[in-house]
């Protein structure tokens, strides 16, 4: 090749390089959709209900508990060797509670104190042991932590919208019923959902370890379960439009309506949800002591006071306190 032919060849190559350029406009990183923020520990669908809800074998009446002692010990003078004496020795009661559920157990942002119906029950127990309702160390636990914490013995009792069921009494002991709740559904004001039947294929929120999701799965045309750590996470998801409904006890739902006037409670009151105070199975003496405390709470008017303070505005006129049933 000589120099004369080199130059045009070079020019041609340059020209071709120019024609072959297929560079488009610069990518502007257009966003078409965005994943919404979700609460930590969320699980959706099958992952939300790890164990398929097998129908619990009948266990008779799970709410039947131990009869209170004939004479309640004087506060500050617990019988030697009893569970209560150990608690008295320690100087404070350790209670597993919720700090996120309005009306039952929540932290008042104004003063950092825990308040609610469940908290009142804990304070009554502390009053009976120490003569001082403030001698309590509260441990905020999630629904899923209730049974493991009791089994580990790291807490004395759980007062956290804890429904007494046949499954649970195999693992922990319960006091007598101190509140009778019922299952309902929370939806936005403009929702077309009127009953449980309308929830088919909708996203329904409940907490991990609560009994709401398993039961929801039992229905025909099952909804899509969404499990989170705390009930307040469910209201967050509802407000953010990430779930269509929250299915749980009317007590918890009432607390949500109290925080968001754009929601309503619908559906017939389904399955009764009797709340009891959970206690480690080994501490039978403490179960019977707590039942004695609850008996006093029912009879001396403090149950009515708690009801009126926390839930009357939301759940209607004050009923009679739930009557205890005893197994012995």
> Rule CB under 8 A: which residues touch another protein?
2-3, 29, 31, 34, 37-41, 91-92, 99-102, 106-110, 112, 135-141, 229-230, 232-233, 235-236, 239, 255-256, 258-260
Closest distance to another protein from the beta carbon of 136 (Å): 8
Q: Quick one: 36 or 55, whose CB is closer to another protein?
A: 36
CB within 8 Å of 264: residues ≥ 6 apart: 186, 187, 188, 189, 191, 257
CB–CB of 115/108 below 8 Å? yes
Closest distance to another protein from the beta carbon of 148 (Å): 11
Q: Quick one: 66 or 205, whose CB is closer to another protein?
A: 205
Closest distance to another protein from the beta carbon of 100 (Å): 5
- State the DSSP H helix or E strand holding residue 14, giving kind and residue range, or none if neither: helix 3-20
| Tokens 């799965």 found at | 217
Closest distance to another protein from the beta carbon of 265 (Å): 16
Q: Quick one: 81 or 91, whose CB is closer to another protein?
A: 91
Q: Quick one: 116 or 321, whose CB is closer to another protein?
A: 116
Got the DSSP string for 95-135? EEE-SEETTTEEE-TTT--EESHHHHHHHHHHHHHHS-TT-
d(CA 118, CA 317): 19
- State the DSSP H helix or E strand holding residue 224, giving kind and residue range, or none if neither: strand 224-228
Closest distance to another protein from the beta carbon of 220 (Å): 32
Q: Quick one: 20 or 29, whose CB is closer to another protein?
A: 29
């Amino acid at each position: 090749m000589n120099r004369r032919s080199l130059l045009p060849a070079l020019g041609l190559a340059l020209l071709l390089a120019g024609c072959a350029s297929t560079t488009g406009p610069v990518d502007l990183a257009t966003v078409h959709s965005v994943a919404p923020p979700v609460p930590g520990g969320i699980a959706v669908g099958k992952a939300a209900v790890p164990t398929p809800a097998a129908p619990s074998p009948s266990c008779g009446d799970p709410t039947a508990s131990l009869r209170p002692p004939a004479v309640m010990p004087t506060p500050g003078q617990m019988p030697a060797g009893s569970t209560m004496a150990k608690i008295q020795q320690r100087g404070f009661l350790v209670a597993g509670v919720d700090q996120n559920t309005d009306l039952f157990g929540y932290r008042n942002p104004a003063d950092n104190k825990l308040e609610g119906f469940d908290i009142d029950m804990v304070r009554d127990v502390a009053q009976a042991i120490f003569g001082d309702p403030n001698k309590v160390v509260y441990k905020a636990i999630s629904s899923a932590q209730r049974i493991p914490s009791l089994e580990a013995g790291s807490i004395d009792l759980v007062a956290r919208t804890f429904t007494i069921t046949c499954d649970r009494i195999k693992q922990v002991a319960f006091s007598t019923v101190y509140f009778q709740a019922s299952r309902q559904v929370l939806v936005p004001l403009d929702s077309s959902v009127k009953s449980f039947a309308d929830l088919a294929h909708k996203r329904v929120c409940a907490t991990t370890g609560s009994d709401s999701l398993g039961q929801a799965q039992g229905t025909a045309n099952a909804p899509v379960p969404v499990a989170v750590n705390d009930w307040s996470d469910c209201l967050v998801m509802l407000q953010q439009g990430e779930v269509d409904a929250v299915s749980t006890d009317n007590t918890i739902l009432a607390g949500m309506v109290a925080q968001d006037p754009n929601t309503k409670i619908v559906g017939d009151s389904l399955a009764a949800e009797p709340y009891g105070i959970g206690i480690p199975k080994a501490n039978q003496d403490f179960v019977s002591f707590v039942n004695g405390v609850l008996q006093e709470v029912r009879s001396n008017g403090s149950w009515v006071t708690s009801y009126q303070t926390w839930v009357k505005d939301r759940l209607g006129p004050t009923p009679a306190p739930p009557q205890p049933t005893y197994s012995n």
